[in-house]
Amino acid sequence: MRKCAIAAASVACIAGSSFAGVIGPDVIVGSLPNLQRFGNVGQITGYSIATTSCNIGDQILNWNPNTNIHPVISQSISRVGPAGDNGTKIEMLGISWLKHGFCALQGTVCGSCQPAGGGCPPRLGIGCSDPYSSGLNGQQSNLGLPADVNAHTGFYSMPFTGVNQSGNQIFKRIQVDANLLDPGQNPGATYWGAGQYVQSEDSSFGNQDNNASHRQILVSSGSVNSGYNLLFTGSTVREEPVIFAWETVDNSVTIIPVDVPETATAGDNNGRVYFAYDVSQNNDGTWHYEYAMNNVSSDNRIRGFRIPGLDIADMMNIEFTDVDYHSGSPISNTDWNTNASTSDDFEIRGPSFGSNPNANSLWWGRLYRIGFDSPNAPEMVTAQLRTFKSNELLDVSVMAPQSANVCLGDCDGSGTVDFNDLVAMLFEFGSADDGACNADLTGRVDFNDLVAALFLFGPCP
Ligand SMILES: *[C@@H]1O[C@H](CO)[C@@H](O)[C@H](O)[C@H]1NC(C)=O
Ligand SMILES: *[C@@H]1O[C@H](CO)[C@@H](O)[C@H](O)[C@H]1NC(C)=O
Ligand SMILES: *[C@@H]1O[C@H](CO)[C@@H](O)[C@H](O)[C@H]1NC(C)=O
Ligand SMILES: *[C@@H]1O[C@H](CO)[C@@H](O)[C@H](O)[C@H]1NC(C)=O
Ligand SMILES: *[C@@H]1O[C@H](CO)[C@@H](O)[C@H](O)[C@H]1NC(C)=O
């Protein structure tokens, strides 16, 4: 699988990989057959996505509607579109409450099936699949509050919050602002639907990291005032969360798996986040930086992103896009902000768990992005994700603007721009990723950089 190639060597990324020698029950999304559009409230449209689950493990998976041993299903819609002059970004546009499963048919979408009973029993047999139509996944009385479910263990209490509650056409469903789907306002955008299953047995056998899949969506017809019809196209990309759609559209995107520990001291693996970045150059020679994070099977969660050594004064057009909670969810929608940044370290973050347990943090199934421009050329740096519950910093190697104290023209890092740097520049001539040698901050090292270096001659500022 593609994601294995980019994962750290120790990452077990094959579906059904062993856990203490046992596979156990392992539920994945085998296919995303269709979408349904409900009505609008203002210009917000309600949608649901059909999901067919498969048990690719070697034990029966329980699906008991009366206990908390049944899957909950999250659905979302995302967009990949232009960013800066020459780059791309991914944003999640809307996410549903969680559909609570009640029984499982025993189908063969993922291959041969050993049925765990006749009809629709409260369990899914080995190898078997179970279809949930878009109607069922949009059925309001069976949609529960996302914040009730522990992202890592799959635990929740019964009866779940929201059971038997119905509302208007968009209540608890995926909610998308029609302006974000309007082809006229979104040239070059592609759309992606995703579904994910969470169930506690799957989790207790360590199989929780492969339960999301995504598929491309076409905007077929409609208007901003009436809402748009959406259709799936292409095939379901199994066991990959939607952040991988960004890489599908733009092959310069880099995706990194980050394992989130339970606590600072224990270090137990409490799930995974995918972190992705992309850098492109704007037409005026500045750079556009894009970051996204997705796929938290982590209850610890993420509440911030930090680039040590980067002065916020070297950044322009800072943007943050989360995906709003709705229908009475207690989780705050207040955006992360950059107030904690200093001239030495950039940070965008939300409040701590200590100050507000319902503060805006990255729950499982969701995707957040951060974008900005900078005159500073890119280099590999150690950036950090800040965890919500344990408030610790997790290192992640990404491309980011060279720190403010990079001395342009000082190729050899001597602290002075001098004759040796001109010589070093000649050796770097024509190279694209040139750090401090890129004295004029544009394109490749060329004659203009030599001229710029002459103007910078002398001690670094
Ligand atoms: C929800 O509705 C169903 C069907 O009417 C009923 O059996 C169940 O007891 C209700 N649950 C709660 C918690 O009210
Ligand atoms: C989460 O991470 C795992 C482990 O790398 C991966 O296999 C899986 O596809 C990811 N997605 C989700 C949401 O499960
Ligand atoms: C950005 O894209 C435009 C065309 O869309 C191209 O002309 C330009 O050279 C690109 N700039 C950079 C710096 O890549
Ligand atoms: C997959 O399911 C488990 C529960 O079985 C859940 O804890 C986990 O968050 C899910 N995985 C991801 C990547 O969200
Ligand atoms: C923090 O930043 C936000 C904008 O991102 C601003 O609205 C808010 O007032 C700031 N808060 C403080 C305490 O400075």
> What is the per-residue pLDDT across 144-157, written as a single tens digit (0 to 9) for each?
998 888 777 778 88
For 182-232, what is each residue's pLDDT tens digit? 999 999 999 999 998 887 776 666 665 557 899 999 999 999 999 999 999
Measured from CB, residues less than 6 Å from any atom of ligand 1 are 159, 163-164
Ligand 4 lined by 62 (C-beta under 6 Å): no
- Give me the torsion for CA of 296, 263, 3, 309, rounded to 10°: 100
- CA gap 284, 300 in Å, rounded: 41
User: According to the 3-state scheme, what is the secondary structure of the chain?
Assistant: CHHHHHCCCCCCCCCCCCECCECCCCEEEEECCCEEEEEEECCEEEEEECEEEEECCCCCEECCCCCCCCCEEEEEEEEEEEECCCEEEEEEEEECCEEECCCCCCECCCCCCECCCCCCCCEECECCEEEECHHHHCCHHHEECHHHCCCCCCCCCCCCCCCCCCCCCCCCCEEEEHHHCCCCCCCCCEEEEEEEEECHHHHHCCCHHHCEEEEEEEEEEEECCCEEEEEEEEEEECCCCCHHHHHHHCCCCEEEEEEEECCCCCCCEEEEEEEEEEEEECCCCCEEEEEEEECCCCCCCEEEEEEECCCHHHCEEEEEECCCCCCCCCCCCCCCECCCCCCCEEEEECCCCCCCCCCCCCCCCCEEEEEEEECCCEEEEEEEEEECCCCCEEEEEEEEECCCCCCCCCCCCCCEECHHHHHHHHHHCCCCCCHHHCCCCCCCCCHHHHHHHHHHCEECC
Mean of pLDDT over the chain: 86
For the stretch 385-421, pLDDT in tens is 998 888 888 889 999 998 756 677 888 878 889 999 8
**Is 65:124 a contact under the CB 8 Å cutoff?**
no
13 versus 402: the higher-pLDDT residue is: 402
pLDDT at residue 113 greater than cutoff 60 = yes
- The tens digit of pLDDT for each residue in 247-279 reads 999 999 999 988 777 655 444 556 778 999 999
Answer whether 318 contacts ligand 5 (Cβ < 6 A): no
With contact defined as beta carbons under 8 Å apart, do 414 and 329 qualify? no
Mean pLDDT of 15-25: 54
Bridge partners of residue 216, in order along the sequence: 192, 233
Q: Determine whether the shortest distance from the Cβ of 337 to ligand 5 is under 6 A.
A: yes
Q: Are the beta carbons of 336 and 322 closer than 8 angstroms?
A: yes
Return the residue whose CA atom lies nearest to atom 5 of ligand 1: 164
Cis amide leading into 159 (omega within 30)? yes
State the pLDDT confidence band at 291, using cuts at 50, 70 and 90: very high
For ligand 4, the distance from its centroid to the CA atom of residue 262, given in whole angstroms, is: 15
Look at residue 125 and tell me whether its pLDDT is greater than 90. Answer: yes
Mean pLDDT throughout 341-358?
A: 90
Model confidence at 175: pLDDT above 90: yes
Length of the chain: 461
Q: How confident is the model at residue 96 (pLDDT cuts 50, 70, 90)?
A: very high
Residue nearest to atom 12 of ligand 3 (CA): 281
| Separation of CA 199 and ligand 2 centre (Å) | 15
pLDDT value, residue 98 = 93
pLDDT of residue 343: 75
Q: pTM for this structure? A: 0.81
pLDDT at res. 296 = 65
Token digits of residue 101 = 């499963």
* Percent residues over pLDDT 70 in the chain: 88
* Least-confidence region, from 257-266, 327-336, 342-351, 391-400: 257-266
Ligand number, closest to the Cα atom of 27: 4
The reported pLDDT for the residue numbered 282 is: 95
